[in-house]
Chain A
Amino acid sequence: MKMTRKEFLQLLALSAAGAGAGGLGLAAAEQQQPAPAKAGSVRCGMVIDFRKCRWDSGCESCLNACRTAHNIPNIPDEAHAVRWVWKEHYENIFPFEQSDFTREQYEKHPLDVLCNHCAQPACVRVCPTAATWKREDGVVMMDWHRCIGCRYCMAACPYGSRSFNWSDPRPYIQNPTASFPTRMKGVVEKCNFCEERLAQGNPPACCAACPEKALTFGNLNDEHSAVRQLLRERYALQRKPELGTSPSIFYLV
Protein backbone atom coordinates (compact mmCIF):
# COMPACT_ATOMS: atom_id res chain seq x y z
CA MET A 1 0.00 0.00 0.00
CA LYS A 2 1.31 3.35 -0.95
CA MET A 3 0.63 6.27 1.37
CA THR A 4 0.65 9.87 0.32
CA ARG A 5 2.40 12.49 2.38
CA LYS A 6 -0.99 14.02 3.26
CA GLU A 7 -2.43 10.67 4.43
CA PHE A 8 0.66 10.00 6.54
CA LEU A 9 0.39 13.37 8.31
CA GLN A 10 -3.35 12.81 8.93
CA LEU A 11 -2.66 9.41 10.46
CA LEU A 12 0.08 10.89 12.64
CA ALA A 13 -2.22 13.65 13.95
CA LEU A 14 -5.01 11.16 14.64
CA SER A 15 -2.66 8.85 16.60
CA ALA A 16 -1.32 11.76 18.66
CA ALA A 17 -4.88 12.87 19.50
CA GLY A 18 -5.83 9.31 20.46
CA ALA A 19 -2.81 8.88 22.73
CA GLY A 20 -3.49 12.26 24.36
CA ALA A 21 -7.10 11.38 25.09
CA GLY A 22 -6.04 8.04 26.57
CA GLY A 23 -3.54 9.77 28.85
CA LEU A 24 -6.16 12.22 30.05
CA GLY A 25 -8.50 9.36 30.83
CA LEU A 26 -5.82 7.63 32.89
CA ALA A 27 -5.05 10.81 34.81
CA ALA A 28 -8.73 11.29 35.55
CA ALA A 29 -8.96 7.72 36.83
CA GLU A 30 -6.00 8.29 39.14
CA GLN A 31 -7.60 11.37 40.64
CA GLN A 32 -10.68 9.45 41.73
CA GLN A 33 -10.96 9.15 45.47
CA PRO A 34 -10.78 5.67 47.00
CA ALA A 35 -13.99 4.21 48.30
CA PRO A 36 -14.59 5.31 51.89
CA ALA A 37 -13.43 2.83 54.52
CA LYS A 38 -16.07 0.33 55.55
CA ALA A 39 -17.84 1.76 58.55
CA GLY A 40 -17.65 -0.77 61.34
CA SER A 41 -19.79 -0.81 64.44
CA VAL A 42 -16.83 0.41 66.50
CA ARG A 43 -14.76 3.51 65.89
CA CYS A 44 -12.35 4.15 68.73
CA GLY A 45 -11.96 7.80 69.58
CA MET A 46 -10.90 10.16 72.30
CA VAL A 47 -12.16 13.46 73.66
CA ILE A 48 -9.71 15.83 75.34
CA ASP A 49 -11.10 18.54 77.62
CA PHE A 50 -9.29 21.87 77.59
CA ARG A 51 -10.75 22.99 80.88
CA LYS A 52 -9.89 19.93 82.92
CA CYS A 53 -6.21 19.56 81.98
CA ARG A 54 -4.05 20.60 84.97
CA TRP A 55 -0.96 21.40 82.92
CA ASP A 56 -0.36 24.57 84.95
CA SER A 57 0.46 22.50 88.04
CA GLY A 58 3.13 20.66 86.04
CA CYS A 59 1.06 17.46 85.74
CA GLU A 60 2.44 15.02 83.18
CA SER A 61 0.61 11.89 84.31
CA CYS A 62 -0.63 11.04 80.82
CA LEU A 63 2.80 11.40 79.22
CA ASN A 64 4.53 9.38 81.92
CA ALA A 65 1.92 6.62 81.77
CA CYS A 66 2.50 6.28 78.03
CA ARG A 67 6.29 6.32 78.34
CA THR A 68 6.20 3.57 80.94
CA ALA A 69 3.61 1.43 79.19
CA HIS A 70 5.39 1.41 75.83
CA ASN A 71 9.09 1.60 76.67
CA ILE A 72 9.43 4.97 74.95
CA PRO A 73 13.05 6.14 74.92
CA ASN A 74 13.90 9.48 76.48
CA ILE A 75 16.29 10.84 73.83
CA PRO A 76 17.65 14.29 74.73
CA ASP A 77 18.35 15.24 71.11
CA GLU A 78 15.12 16.89 69.86
CA ALA A 79 15.83 15.89 66.27
CA HIS A 80 15.90 12.20 67.24
CA ALA A 81 13.18 12.27 69.90
CA VAL A 82 10.50 9.57 69.86
CA ARG A 83 6.99 10.71 70.80
CA TRP A 84 3.66 8.93 71.07
CA VAL A 85 1.79 11.57 73.02
CA TRP A 86 3.19 14.97 73.89
CA LYS A 87 2.18 18.52 74.81
CA GLU A 88 1.77 21.16 72.12
CA HIS A 89 0.64 24.75 72.50
CA TYR A 90 -2.89 25.66 71.44
CA GLU A 91 -1.74 28.05 68.71
CA ASN A 92 0.30 25.25 67.11
CA ILE A 93 -2.47 22.68 67.31
CA PHE A 94 -5.16 25.00 65.94
CA PRO A 95 -3.35 27.81 64.08
CA PHE A 96 -6.57 28.97 62.37
CA GLU A 97 -8.87 28.69 65.37
CA GLN A 98 -7.89 31.83 67.21
CA SER A 99 -9.16 35.36 67.34
CA ASP A 100 -7.74 38.39 69.12
CA PHE A 101 -9.26 37.55 72.45
CA THR A 102 -9.35 33.75 72.49
CA ARG A 103 -5.65 33.93 71.88
CA GLU A 104 -5.24 35.66 75.20
CA GLN A 105 -6.88 32.79 77.01
CA TYR A 106 -5.41 29.88 75.08
CA GLU A 107 -2.00 31.13 74.14
CA LYS A 108 0.73 28.87 75.53
CA HIS A 109 -1.98 26.49 76.73
CA PRO A 110 -0.41 23.07 76.19
CA LEU A 111 -2.58 20.12 75.24
CA ASP A 112 -2.02 16.48 74.46
CA VAL A 113 -1.42 15.65 70.83
CA LEU A 114 -1.15 12.09 69.62
CA CYS A 115 -1.97 9.95 66.59
CA ASN A 116 -5.45 10.97 65.43
CA HIS A 117 -6.39 7.45 64.32
CA CYS A 118 -8.02 9.05 61.30
CA ALA A 119 -10.99 7.48 59.59
CA GLN A 120 -9.17 8.15 56.29
CA PRO A 121 -5.52 7.80 57.30
CA ALA A 122 -2.98 9.15 54.83
CA CYS A 123 -0.19 7.04 56.36
CA VAL A 124 -2.02 3.81 55.56
CA ARG A 125 -2.45 4.79 51.91
CA VAL A 126 1.26 5.38 51.37
CA CYS A 127 2.81 2.49 53.33
CA PRO A 128 4.43 0.21 50.72
CA THR A 129 4.54 -2.88 52.96
CA ALA A 130 1.17 -2.60 54.73
CA ALA A 131 3.11 -2.26 57.98
CA THR A 132 0.53 0.28 59.06
CA TRP A 133 -3.14 -0.39 58.53
CA LYS A 134 -6.56 0.46 59.88
CA ARG A 135 -8.22 -2.08 62.11
CA GLU A 136 -11.97 -2.73 62.04
CA ASP A 137 -12.32 -0.88 65.35
CA GLY A 138 -10.70 2.24 63.89
CA VAL A 139 -7.26 1.92 65.49
CA VAL A 140 -4.47 2.77 63.05
CA MET A 141 -2.07 -0.04 63.89
CA MET A 142 1.60 -0.60 63.19
CA ASP A 143 3.40 -3.87 62.61
CA TRP A 144 7.02 -3.13 63.44
CA HIS A 145 8.03 -6.48 62.02
CA ARG A 146 7.08 -5.25 58.58
CA CYS A 147 8.25 -1.64 58.76
CA ILE A 148 11.18 -1.07 56.42
CA GLY A 149 11.84 2.46 57.64
CA CYS A 150 11.07 4.26 54.38
CA ARG A 151 9.30 7.05 56.32
CA TYR A 152 6.62 7.60 53.65
CA CYS A 153 4.06 7.55 56.46
CA MET A 154 5.90 10.33 58.28
CA ALA A 155 5.80 12.44 55.14
CA ALA A 156 2.11 11.68 54.64
CA CYS A 157 0.90 12.30 58.20
CA PRO A 158 -0.36 15.90 58.41
CA TYR A 159 -0.04 15.91 62.22
CA GLY A 160 3.59 14.86 62.70
CA SER A 161 2.40 12.00 64.89
CA ARG A 162 5.10 9.58 63.83
CA SER A 163 8.70 9.24 65.00
CA PHE A 164 11.64 7.47 63.46
CA ASN A 165 14.26 5.54 65.37
CA TRP A 166 17.47 7.05 64.07
CA SER A 167 19.50 4.99 66.52
CA ASP A 168 19.01 2.03 68.82
CA PRO A 169 16.47 3.32 71.38
CA ARG A 170 17.41 0.86 74.13
CA PRO A 171 20.16 2.90 75.81
CA TYR A 172 17.56 5.64 76.38
CA ILE A 173 14.97 3.45 78.10
CA GLN A 174 15.41 3.91 81.84
CA ASN A 175 12.94 1.54 83.48
CA PRO A 176 11.83 -1.02 80.90
CA THR A 177 8.40 -2.60 81.08
CA ALA A 178 8.27 -6.35 80.55
CA SER A 179 4.83 -6.50 78.96
CA PHE A 180 5.73 -4.42 75.89
CA PRO A 181 8.59 -4.76 73.41
CA THR A 182 11.03 -2.02 72.53
CA ARG A 183 11.70 -0.94 68.97
CA MET A 184 14.90 -1.15 66.97
CA LYS A 185 16.90 1.23 64.86
CA GLY A 186 15.28 1.99 61.51
CA VAL A 187 11.56 1.62 62.26
CA VAL A 188 8.82 4.22 62.57
CA GLU A 189 6.60 4.26 65.63
CA LYS A 190 3.55 6.10 66.94
CA CYS A 191 0.66 5.86 69.37
CA ASN A 192 -1.14 2.52 69.06
CA PHE A 193 -4.16 3.67 71.12
CA CYS A 194 -2.93 1.14 73.71
CA GLU A 195 -4.29 -1.74 71.65
CA GLU A 196 -2.69 -4.13 74.16
CA ARG A 197 -4.87 -2.57 76.88
CA LEU A 198 -7.97 -2.42 74.65
CA ALA A 199 -7.60 -6.17 74.11
CA GLN A 200 -8.02 -6.63 77.85
CA GLY A 201 -10.95 -4.22 78.03
CA ASN A 202 -9.00 -1.34 79.58
CA PRO A 203 -8.95 2.25 78.30
CA PRO A 204 -5.65 3.68 76.99
CA ALA A 205 -2.99 4.35 79.64
CA CYS A 206 -3.15 8.15 79.25
CA CYS A 207 -6.91 8.20 79.88
CA ALA A 208 -6.58 5.94 82.91
CA ALA A 209 -3.72 8.01 84.35
CA CYS A 210 -5.32 11.46 84.12
CA PRO A 211 -6.27 12.57 87.65
CA GLU A 212 -8.81 15.08 86.28
CA LYS A 213 -10.39 12.70 83.76
CA ALA A 214 -9.62 15.23 81.03
CA LEU A 215 -9.19 12.42 78.51
CA THR A 216 -12.19 10.26 77.64
CA PHE A 217 -11.97 7.19 75.44
CA GLY A 218 -14.90 5.50 73.75
CA ASN A 219 -16.74 4.29 70.70
CA LEU A 220 -17.61 7.20 68.41
CA ASN A 221 -20.15 5.08 66.52
CA ASP A 222 -22.16 4.38 69.66
CA GLU A 223 -24.42 7.35 70.32
CA HIS A 224 -24.81 6.41 73.98
CA SER A 225 -21.05 6.32 74.65
CA ALA A 226 -19.34 8.80 76.96
CA VAL A 227 -17.46 10.41 74.10
CA ARG A 228 -20.60 11.03 72.07
CA GLN A 229 -22.29 12.44 75.17
CA LEU A 230 -19.44 14.93 75.60
CA LEU A 231 -19.49 15.86 71.92
CA ARG A 232 -23.23 16.57 72.15
CA GLU A 233 -22.80 18.86 75.14
CA ARG A 234 -19.75 20.88 74.18
CA TYR A 235 -18.22 22.43 71.08
CA ALA A 236 -15.31 20.32 69.87
CA LEU A 237 -12.46 20.80 67.41
CA GLN A 238 -10.63 18.30 65.26
CA ARG A 239 -7.15 18.94 63.94
CA LYS A 240 -7.08 20.04 60.29
CA PRO A 241 -10.53 18.64 59.40
CA GLU A 242 -10.29 20.35 56.00
CA LEU A 243 -7.79 17.71 54.86
CA GLY A 244 -10.50 15.05 54.89
CA THR A 245 -8.61 12.63 57.12
CA SER A 246 -11.44 12.70 59.67
CA PRO A 247 -9.46 12.49 62.93
CA SER A 248 -10.88 10.50 65.85
CA ILE A 249 -9.38 12.78 68.50
CA PHE A 250 -11.62 15.68 69.56
CA TYR A 251 -10.73 18.73 71.64
CA LEU A 252 -13.42 20.31 73.82
CA VAL A 253 -12.95 24.07 74.00
Chain B
Amino acid sequence: MRDRPLIFAGLALFVALATYPVWHAVAAHSTAAAPDVPLPKQAKTCVAPLEYMRTSHMKLLIDWRENKVRNGVLDYTAYNGQHYRVSLSQTCLGQCHASKQEFCDRCHTYAAVETAAQPVGLVCFDCHTTPREVAAGRLP
Protein backbone atom coordinates (compact mmCIF):
# COMPACT_ATOMS: atom_id res chain seq x y z
CA MET B 1 0.00 0.00 0.00
CA ARG B 2 3.04 2.22 -0.16
CA ASP B 3 2.15 3.16 -3.81
CA ARG B 4 -1.26 4.60 -2.95
CA PRO B 5 -0.27 8.32 -3.38
CA LEU B 6 1.42 7.53 -6.69
CA ILE B 7 -1.62 5.60 -8.00
CA PHE B 8 -4.08 8.34 -7.01
CA ALA B 9 -1.87 11.07 -8.45
CA GLY B 10 -1.67 9.12 -11.71
CA LEU B 11 -5.44 8.61 -11.77
CA ALA B 12 -6.05 12.31 -11.11
CA LEU B 13 -3.67 13.23 -13.93
CA PHE B 14 -5.41 10.81 -16.29
CA VAL B 15 -8.87 12.21 -15.46
CA ALA B 16 -7.59 15.77 -15.92
CA LEU B 17 -6.05 14.97 -19.32
CA ALA B 18 -9.02 12.93 -20.52
CA THR B 19 -11.50 15.67 -19.68
CA TYR B 20 -9.26 18.51 -20.90
CA PRO B 21 -11.34 19.16 -24.10
CA VAL B 22 -14.43 19.65 -21.94
CA TRP B 23 -12.76 22.20 -19.66
CA HIS B 24 -11.18 23.93 -22.62
CA ALA B 25 -14.56 24.25 -24.31
CA VAL B 26 -16.13 25.58 -21.12
CA ALA B 27 -13.37 28.14 -20.72
CA ALA B 28 -13.67 29.19 -24.40
CA HIS B 29 -17.48 29.53 -24.10
CA SER B 30 -17.93 27.40 -27.19
CA THR B 31 -21.18 25.62 -27.81
CA ALA B 32 -22.37 22.73 -29.94
CA ALA B 33 -25.50 24.65 -30.92
CA ALA B 34 -25.81 25.54 -34.60
CA PRO B 35 -24.89 29.13 -35.44
CA ASP B 36 -27.60 31.74 -35.28
CA VAL B 37 -27.89 32.91 -38.87
CA PRO B 38 -30.30 35.82 -39.31
CA LEU B 39 -32.63 35.42 -42.28
CA PRO B 40 -33.66 38.40 -44.39
CA LYS B 41 -36.93 39.95 -43.29
CA GLN B 42 -38.18 41.26 -46.63
CA ALA B 43 -37.68 38.09 -48.71
CA LYS B 44 -39.49 34.86 -47.97
CA THR B 45 -37.87 32.62 -50.60
CA CYS B 46 -34.33 32.05 -51.76
CA VAL B 47 -33.17 31.24 -55.30
CA ALA B 48 -33.45 27.55 -54.43
CA PRO B 49 -35.17 25.54 -51.66
CA LEU B 50 -33.67 25.95 -48.18
CA GLU B 51 -32.33 22.40 -47.96
CA TYR B 52 -30.62 22.68 -51.31
CA MET B 53 -29.04 25.99 -50.38
CA ARG B 54 -27.78 24.57 -47.08
CA THR B 55 -26.04 21.65 -48.70
CA SER B 56 -25.22 22.83 -52.23
CA HIS B 57 -25.07 26.64 -52.42
CA MET B 58 -21.44 26.34 -53.49
CA LYS B 59 -22.44 24.27 -56.50
CA LEU B 60 -25.12 26.80 -57.43
CA LEU B 61 -22.62 29.65 -57.14
CA ILE B 62 -20.11 27.82 -59.35
CA ASP B 63 -22.82 27.13 -61.94
CA TRP B 64 -23.75 30.83 -61.88
CA ARG B 65 -20.13 31.79 -62.22
CA GLU B 66 -19.37 29.49 -65.16
CA ASN B 67 -22.55 30.41 -67.00
CA LYS B 68 -22.15 34.12 -66.49
CA VAL B 69 -18.45 34.50 -67.22
CA ARG B 70 -18.03 31.89 -69.92
CA ASN B 71 -21.47 31.91 -71.58
CA GLY B 72 -22.78 35.37 -70.74
CA VAL B 73 -25.94 34.10 -69.03
CA LEU B 74 -27.07 36.94 -66.76
CA ASP B 75 -30.52 35.69 -65.83
CA TYR B 76 -31.39 32.77 -63.55
CA THR B 77 -34.81 31.17 -63.46
CA ALA B 78 -35.44 29.81 -59.98
CA TYR B 79 -37.31 26.62 -59.09
CA ASN B 80 -40.48 28.67 -58.49
CA GLY B 81 -40.28 30.44 -61.83
CA GLN B 82 -38.95 33.69 -60.44
CA HIS B 83 -36.14 35.43 -62.32
CA TYR B 84 -32.97 36.60 -60.63
CA ARG B 85 -29.96 38.54 -61.84
CA VAL B 86 -26.86 36.33 -61.61
CA SER B 87 -24.63 38.18 -59.14
CA LEU B 88 -23.16 37.26 -55.79
CA SER B 89 -22.58 40.86 -54.73
CA GLN B 90 -25.70 42.43 -56.23
CA THR B 91 -28.31 39.73 -55.76
CA CYS B 92 -27.30 37.49 -52.82
CA LEU B 93 -25.63 40.14 -50.71
CA GLY B 94 -27.25 43.21 -52.22
CA GLN B 95 -30.87 42.14 -51.94
CA CYS B 96 -30.99 39.79 -48.95
CA HIS B 97 -27.88 38.97 -46.98
CA ALA B 98 -26.41 42.42 -46.51
CA SER B 99 -23.97 41.36 -43.84
CA LYS B 100 -21.41 38.83 -44.92
CA GLN B 101 -20.12 38.62 -41.35
CA GLU B 102 -23.51 37.65 -39.93
CA PHE B 103 -24.60 35.36 -42.75
CA CYS B 104 -21.74 33.76 -44.68
CA ASP B 105 -19.03 33.90 -42.04
CA ARG B 106 -21.04 32.53 -39.14
CA CYS B 107 -21.71 29.22 -40.86
CA HIS B 108 -18.32 29.03 -42.50
CA THR B 109 -16.58 29.55 -39.17
CA TYR B 110 -18.82 27.00 -37.47
CA ALA B 111 -18.14 24.42 -40.19
CA ALA B 112 -14.44 25.34 -40.23
CA VAL B 113 -14.59 26.09 -43.98
CA GLU B 114 -12.26 28.96 -43.30
CA THR B 115 -10.30 29.26 -40.09
CA ALA B 116 -7.40 31.32 -38.83
CA ALA B 117 -5.16 28.30 -39.34
CA GLN B 118 -6.41 27.77 -42.91
CA PRO B 119 -7.37 31.21 -44.20
CA VAL B 120 -7.46 30.30 -47.89
CA GLY B 121 -10.40 27.92 -47.72
CA LEU B 122 -12.73 30.40 -49.37
CA VAL B 123 -11.56 33.04 -51.82
CA CYS B 124 -14.86 34.49 -53.14
CA PHE B 125 -14.56 37.64 -51.08
CA ASP B 126 -10.96 38.34 -52.02
CA CYS B 127 -12.49 39.88 -55.15
CA HIS B 128 -16.25 40.12 -54.68
CA THR B 129 -17.35 42.99 -52.50
CA THR B 130 -20.33 43.38 -50.24
CA PRO B 131 -22.56 46.46 -50.54
CA ARG B 132 -21.79 47.44 -46.94
CA GLU B 133 -18.04 47.48 -47.53
CA VAL B 134 -18.49 49.55 -50.66
CA ALA B 135 -20.82 51.98 -48.88
CA ALA B 136 -18.21 52.35 -46.14
CA GLY B 137 -15.67 53.16 -48.87
CA ARG B 138 -13.14 50.72 -47.46
CA LEU B 139 -12.49 47.20 -48.65
CA PRO B 140 -11.12 44.68 -46.16
A residues lining the B interface (CB < 8 Å)? 135, 141, 143-145, 170, 173, 175-179, 181-184, 199
Number of A-B contacts (CB under 8 A): 39
- Provide the B117-140 mask, 1 if CB < 8 A to any CB of A, else 0: 000000100111101011101011
- Indicate if the CB atoms of B129 and A181 lie closer than 8 Å: yes
Contact A176 B131 (CB under 8 A): no
- Chain B residue with the shortest CB-CB distance to A183: B127
* Chain B residues bordering chain A, tally (CB within 8 A): 20
Q: Are B126 and A178 in contact (CB under 8 A)?
A: no
Residues of chain A lying within 8 A (CB to CB) of residue B139? 170, 173, 176, 182
Q: Which residue in B89, B94, B140 is a CB contact (below 8 Å) of A170?
A: B140
> Chain A: which residue is nearest B90 at the CB level?
A179
**Which residues does chain A contribute within 8 Å of B134, judged by CB atoms?**
176-178
Q: Which of B90, B94, B123, B129 contacts A182 (CB 8 A)?
A: B129
- List residues of B whose CB falls within 8 A of some A CB: 65, 69-70, 72, 74, 89-90, 94, 123, 126-129, 131, 133-135, 137, 139-140
Most chain A C-beta atoms within 10 Å of own C-beta, residue among B70, B74, B133? B70
Residues in A neighbouring B128, C-beta threshold 8 A: 181
Identify the closest chain B residue to A176 (Cβ). Answer: B134
Instruction: Name the contact of A176 in the complex, choosing from B65, B69, B123, B137 (C-beta under 8 A).
Output: B137
- Give the chain A neighbours of B137 by CB distance below 8 A: 175-176
Contact present for B129 and A176 (CB under 8 Å): yes
Q: Which residues of chain A are within 8 angstroms of B131 by Cβ–Cβ distance? A: 178
Q: How far is the CB of A21 from chain B (nearest CB, A)?
A: 43
Given contacts A143-B69, A145-B69, A199-B72, contact A178 B94 (CB under 8 A): yes
Distance of A128 from chain B, by nearest CB (Å): 17
On chain B, the residues within 8 Å of A183 by CB distance are 127
A181 touches B69 (CB 8 A): no
Q: Are B140 and A199 in contact (CB under 8 A)?
A: no
